[in-house]
Amino acid sequence: MAKVKITQIKSVIGHPERQRRTLRSLGIKRMHQTVEVEGTPQVLGMIAKVRHLIRVE
């Protein structure tokens, strides 16, 4: 699987708890933090749910 870089670019304040938990499960804890994860179907599904809060490279 290919690696995917994810960076949080928008705050989770005012967004549903489910989206906050999705970011935490991706390994993102704070703004402008970048993590590198495997591009599995499960991870790609999580990315799709919070696409408006992150930048994907």
Largest CA distance in the chain: 34
Q: Which domain holds residue 27?
A: 3-56
pTM, rounded to two decimals? 0.92
Q: What is the average pLDDT across 41-48?
A: 97
pLDDT greater than 90 at residue 41: yes
* Counted domains in the chain: 1
Tell me, what's the pLDDT at 1?
Answer: 79
Q: What is the average pLDDT across 28-57?
A: 97
Q: Indicate which CATH number applies to the domain containing 26.
A: 3.30.1390.20
> Per residue in 1-35, pLDDT tens?
799 999 999 999 999 999 999 999 999 999 999 99
CA distance 43 to 26: 7
